[in-house]
Amino acid sequence: ILNVEQSPQSLHVQEGDSTNFTCSFPSSNFYALHWYRWETAKSPEALFVMTLNGDEKKKGRISATLNTKEGYSYLYIKGSQPEDSATYLCAPLAYSGAGSYQLTFGKGTKLSVIP
Amino acid sequence: EADIYQTPRYLVIGTGKKITLECSQTMGHDKMYWYQQDPGMELHLIHYSYGVNSTEKGDLSSESTVSRIRTEHFPLTLESARPSHTSQYLCASSERGHRLAQYFGPGTRLLVL
């Protein structure tokens, strides 16, 4: 099982603030990195799947970068809104043998945006 | 929009009962997964399937079993529920290809008394 660290564990920001959080993962045996947003009482929803070192992805006010050589990814939210309140999960995809690839999830960063 | 369903959403049951958690998807995805999440912990993969009649165990050992007789259906069964099985169980699916996102169901919260 991979060691995936997400920081901070939780975060409270004011509406309109920009914020970012980190996902660290082993750089060996890396295949892809997934980011998911999980709102309370809903299903986790995919934000990004990133594969290449230096990748940057953007979806509205949310963007992410990837450094596969050092094993980290940053997620940025510009001008946070209350609807951004959720737990953000990262999950590296690694080869697990016998033709299988598995996601290993971090514990997530819980973001609360205060109106 | 993803169409993946889980029933029941909540289940409280006594020790020793047999339970089946249902998961269905209408997207025609070949790959399906079961994850378990204990409170405050990570999602852990317990079972996955790459297609009909294919099932494999994930990185977290589980006493549950799964079957994949139809593409759209991936039920999880516990033959004899125990309090240690109390957890949240999430089902997911994805298309072929390892770099594709997974679509998650709403989860089943299981409480075994």
Low-confidence ranges of chain A (pLDDT < 70): 1
Chain A residues inside the 8 Å CB shell of B100: 49
**Tens digit of each residue's pLDDT (9 = 90 or more) over B3-26:** 999 999 999 999 999 999 999 999
Residue that the structure tokens 């993962």 belong to: A25
Instruction: Check whether B1 has a pLDDT greater than 80.
Output: no
Name the minimum distance, in Å, from the CA of B43 to any CA of chain A.
6
Q: How far apart are CA A111 and CA B99, in angstroms?
A: 26
Q: How far apart are CA B70 and CA B22, in angstroms?
A: 13
Of A46, A51, A105, the CB nearest to B43: A105
Confidence of residue B52 (pLDDT cuts 50, 70, 90): very high
Q: Is A88 helix (H, G, I), strand (E, B) or coil?
A: strand
Q: Are B109 and B88 in contact (CB under 8 A)?
A: yes
Average pLDDT value for chain B: 94
Q: How many CB pairs under 8 A join A and B?
A: 56
Q: Residue B112: what pLDDT? A: 97
Q: Residue B61: what pLDDT? A: 82
Beta carbons of A93 and B98 less than 8 Å apart = yes
Chain B residues inside the 8 Å CB shell of A46: 101-103
Name the minimum distance, in Å, from the CA of B99 to any CA of chain A.
6
Q: Residue A101: what pLDDT? A: 86
- Helix, strand, coil percentages (3-state) for chain A, rounded to 5, are 5, 60, 40
Higher pLDDT, B70 or B59: B70
Q: Which long-range contacts (CB under 8 A, 24 or more apart) does B59-66 make?
A: B59/A1, B59/A96, B59/A102, B59/A104, B60/A1, B60/B36, B62/B36, B64/B34, B66/B34
Residue that the structure tokens 């099932």 belong to: B55
Partner B, chain A 21-40, Cβ-Cβ below 8 Å: 31-32, 34, 36
Confidence of residue B69 (pLDDT cuts 50, 70, 90): very high
Of A4, A36, A103, the CB nearest to B45: A103
